[in-house]
Each structure stands twice: as C-alpha cells, then as structure tokens.
Amino acid sequence: MARVGGGDVEIGGLPAPAGDPRQRVIAADDSLDDDGKPRRTGTVWTASAHVITAVIGSGVLSLPWSVAQLGWVAGPVTLLLFALITYYTSVLLGDCYRSEDAVTGKRNYTYMEAVGSLLGKGQVWFCGLCQYVNLVGTAIGYTITASISAAALYKANCFHSKGHSADCGVYTTMYMVVFGISQIVFSQLPNLHEMAWLSILAAVMSFSYATIGVGLSLAQTITGPTGKTTIGGTQIGVDVTSAQKIWLTLQALGNIAFAYSYSMVLIEIQDTVKAPPAENKTMRKANLMGVSTTTAFYMLCGCLGYSAFGNDAPGNMLTGFGFYEPYWLIDFANVCIVVHLVGAYQVYCQPIYAAVESWAAGRWPNSEFVVRQYYPFSGKFSLNMFRLVWRTAFVIVSTVLAISLPFFNDILGLLGALGFWPLTVYFPVEMYISQSKMKKYSRKWVALQTLSFACFVVTVAVTVASIQGITQSLKNYVPFKTKL
C-alpha cells in the first residue's frame, strides 16, 4: 500500500527509491494532499464563512441584555476586550496547526491532536473534557435558541392579529423536536469538507438577522419610545438588588464570552484550508475577517439594542418582544436564526462525530457495521450504518437535554464560562509557548501567563454566577412545560 508523507512515498512500509516510477506516479496525483489524504480545497473565504458561522450564533441575541447589565462604559469596552483576546489567541492556535514548525511541521487534524502533539498525553484528557463538554453544551444551547426563534414566529403573528396584550404563549418542546429531526438528517453529511455550502448559507443568515436586529434597534432609538440607559447599566435599588447586580454582571460576561467562542473548532476549520499558502497565514486572515466582522455587528447589536430597550432589555432581542412590528420582518429574522443554527450546530458537532467514529474504526477495524460505506445516490453521498445510528442517538440525547433545561441566558453564560479560559486562552497559550520554545520567565512568557491567569479568574467567577442563575430558574420550572 502506498501513502504520501513528508514528501516521500512508502510502499510496503518502506520508502520507495527516489527514482522509482511509483514515486513519480503518486507525486503526480494532484488529488492527494501532503499526507496522502484527499486534497483540501478551502480558501480564506470558506474559512471565514466557517468562522462567522461558528462565532455569530445565539450569543448575539443576548448582547443588548449583557450591555444593559454593564452600562455604556463597561459594555462596549468588554466587547472589544473579548474580541482582542479571541483574535490574539486564535492566531496563536492557528500557528499550532502543524507541530514543531507552523509551515512545514506535521499536521494536526483536531484540537485534541494538537494538544497531544505539543503538550503531551497528560493534557489531552483535560482538553477533551473541556472541548466535548462545551461542544455538547453548544448543541444543547443552539437547540434551545432555534426552538425559541421558531416559536417566536407563531407569537409575532399572534400579536399582530390579536393585539400586543393577547395571550400568545406557546410551548417550545414541539419546536425542539422538529429542530432535532432536521439535525438527524444533516448529521449524515460525513465531515466539514462536505459542508462548505451549509456554512456559507448559515453565514448569510447570521448577517441577515444581525442586520435586522441592528436596523430595528436603530429605528426604535430614533423614533422612540426608548428605555432608560445609564453609565453603569442596571441600577441597584431601582432595577436590581446589590446581590443581583453582581450575579447578573458576571452572567453578562459569560454571555459575551460565549458570543465569541469558536476556538474549539478552529483546528478543524483550518484543516479544510488548502496549501500553499501556509495554512496559518490563510487562517490568520480568516480569523481577522471573522472576528472583526462579528465584533462590528456585536457592537451595533449590543449598543443599539441597549439604546432602544434601556435597562429593561430582554434576554433575547428578537424573541423577547421588545419589537412587535413590522411583524413580517421579525418573522424573517427568526427564520434566518433557525437556518443559521442548523448550520452552526453541524460546525460544532462535527468534531464530536469525528472523534467517536475514529475511535470506533480503530477499535473495530474489521466490522462492516463500523467501517463499510454505502453509496445509495450514484456515489455522490456515502452512508455508514454506525454513523447513522450514533449520530442519530447523539441528536436525540442533546434534544432531550435541551427540552429539560431551556434557560437561554443562564445556559449561554455557563457555556461561555466553561469554554473561555481552557479552550480560548489556556491551551493556545501553552501550545504556542511549547512550539516556539519560549524561554521561561521571559517578558513574553510572563505576559502570556498573566493573560491566562486573569482569564481563569473571570471563568471561575462567571461559572459560579451562571450556576446560581440556573439554580434560581429551576425553582419555578416545570419540566417539559416551558412557554415562550
């Protein structure tokens, strides 16, 4: 069996001689990449689409509420600070896609593989726990958000026909089930390489509903009435108690952290990018385009949303019904949210699928159920029985968990906290230090460790606050009977 690796061809486990005709045949095969796998075709544009799809998600809808907890000064500053941290650590992580050397080193196909190559197996378990808990949590969060937006379609039309004071409450369980069924279908797409079209569509949808949110907030700010805004956000003794102010401020930080989280899928996105040019250079441009574009929308959504609603900003700007009219535009925005989250769900779940299926193939390499591929549609699409059963089971479980814990802001805050320090800051910093062989206690080493420690403190505080929020929500919660 022949394979490509490091520029040489191995035949029967030994390198083929330099003049061997088999060397020339395989070297001339343009369909193979430098590791013998099918050639990647991703560009800075497709990578940017994946990044935007991963970044702009349900988090954008909570930003007016988050800015309302922080106020006119701390709100925008916090958004910019998280953007800068996310971009900087994403650049560090992109340089660790290849081990030893960012341009010519061995490729790492997943986040965990990069951690194992650069930090050793001892860190892989911690990374896997953080990454997969966050990815599963994101799948649950996206199911909640998509169902809320779908239910908002009914409510918007109900309010339009019956008046804003009508009882238009609707249970969200049915919408979660429908979203789950759609994900069972899309989950049969083998990998991210097959999903560039879905990410591009989802990115267009995210631009659309973010733009609508900005436009409606701007119109409300200009025409009124608007809510009361303050320098420090919600006021102690007027809007909240002193204890509530602390908890809600920390939860707002978690919501903002979640809005920027995508590092856990960055390596997988980078693995779709063709080379040359070097993948880290392409990904640096994609990160800049993705983070700067989303930050512009985040600033507009957060600040204009706060300007429109004031300290009473709803937890979800498009489903909290701060806006009632034009109802058709709100309907369109919520349709865009649902379509976007269908794609974003897949971007976040593909690493989970790949990890389990890779493990199963290694554990049972001779099992037809695990490894055999069927081609029912003239070779254009492969079907695997293990993939069908396992991915379907995963979607069902995540949907049931979403139905059981439908707390939008609290869940987003907890997910943001759990993923921010370890996946966005700690591992990229430690891998970069290891790969660059940075001298301990050097000026840059101290700066990077200081950044990591500061983000760790924020993560701990936000985690405690989010758990407190979920605990409070559970006091009045009746399972499977959540109304929007």
**Tokens encoding 69:** 């907890």
| Residue 333 DSSP SS3 | helix
Percent of the chain with pLDDT over 90: 10
Helices first, then strands: H and E counts in the chain: 16, 3
**Residue range 468-483, pLDDT digits in tens:** 877 877 776 666 666 5
Range of weakest confidence among 13-17, 138-142, 246-250: 13-17
pLDDT(347) > 60? yes
Average pLDDT over residues 322-334: 78
pTM for the whole thing? 0.75
Give the C-alpha separation, 66 to 60, whole Å: 10
What is the average pLDDT across 7-17?
39
Binned at pLDDT 50, 70 and 90, residue 453 comes out as very high
The conformation of residue 149, written as its DSSP 8-state character, comes to: H
Which structure tokens are listed for 236?
Answer: 């102690």
* pLDDT score of 406 more than 70: no
pLDDT at 78 over 90: yes
Poorest-pLDDT segment among 32-41, 229-238, 265-274, 357-366:
32-41
**Bridge partners of residue 14, in order along the sequence:** 11
* Overall average pLDDT of the 388-407 stretch: 85
Q: How far apart are CA 134 and CA 131, in angstroms?
A: 5
Angle at which helices 44-55 and 327-363 pack, to 10 degrees? 110
For the cut 50, the answer to whether the pLDDT of residue 366 exceeds it is yes
pLDDT for the residue numbered 290: 85
The residue-averaged pLDDT of 260-280 equals 79
Structure tokens at 271: 């693995």
- Element housing 269 (H / E): helix 266-270
- pLDDT of 32: 66
How many Cβ atoms from other residues are within 10 Å of residue 397's Cβ? 14
Looking at the predicted structure, is the pLDDT value of residue 331 above 70?
Answer: yes
Rounded Cα distance between 304 and 291, Å, is: 19
pLDDT at 478: 65
C-alpha 81/C-alpha 76 separation (Å) is 9
What are the residues whose beta carbons fall under 8 Å from the beta carbon of 46, sequence distance 6 or more?
Answer: 196, 199, 200, 272, 273
Give the integer Cα–Cα distance in Å for 180 and 174.
10
pLDDT, position 191: 60
Q: Where are the domains of the chain?
A: 44-476
Average pLDDT (174-195) is: 79
The one-letter amino acid code at 320 reads G
CA gap 134, 390 in Å, rounded: 19
Matching residue, tokens 């790492």: 108
Average pLDDT over residues 337-350: 81
Is residue 365 predicted with pLDDT exceeding 50? yes
Q: Which pLDDT value is given to residue 267?
A: 83
Residue 67: partners with Cβ closer than 8 Å, 6 or more residues away: 75, 76, 79, 233, 252, 302, 303, 305, 306, 313
Q: Checking phi first, is residue 176 left (phi over 0); if not, alpha (psi -120 to 50) or beta?
A: alpha
Measured between alpha carbons, how far is residue 394 from residues 127, 297, 311 in Å? Answer: 20, 32, 39
In CATH terms, the fold of domain 44-476 is: Amino acid/polyamine transporter I (1.20.1740)
Amino acid at position 321, single letter: F
Q: How many residues does the chain have?
A: 484
- Tens digit of pLDDT for each residue in 194-215? 556 766 777 788 778 878 888 8
Q: Find residue 98's DSSP bridge partners.
A: 107
Mean pLDDT lowest for which of 101-105, 183-187, 348-352, 436-440? Answer: 101-105
**For residues 138 and 348, is the Cβ–Cβ distance under 8 A?**
yes
pLDDT at residue number 23: 43
Confidence of residue 5 (pLDDT cuts 50, 70, 90): very low
Q: Mean pLDDT score of the chain, rounded to an integer?
A: 79
Q: Which residues of 5-33 are buried (b: 16+ CB within 10 A; e: fewer)?
A: eeeebbeeeeebeeeeeebeebeeeeebe
Residue 138 has pLDDT above 90, yes or no: no
Place of tokens 């726990």: 129
Tell me: pLDDT of 384 over 80.
no
For residue 425, what is the DSSP state? I
Say what the alpha-carbon torsion angle 171, 174, 180, 185 is, to the nearest 10 degrees: -150
Structure confidence by residue, pLDDT tens digits, 287-300: 898 888 888 888 88
Q: What is the DSSP letter of 420?
A: I
Closest CA to 58 of 181, 202, 159, 201: 202
Q: Are 226 and 310 in contact (CB under 8 A)?
A: yes
**Which DSSP state fits 316?**
S
- Band of the pLDDT at 84, cuts 50, 70, 90? very high
Residue 321 has pLDDT above 70, yes or no: no
Name which of 18-27, 108-117, 132-141, 161-170 the model is least confident about. 18-27
Distance (Å, whole) CA 459 – CA 466 = 10
Give the pLDDT mean for 307-335: 79
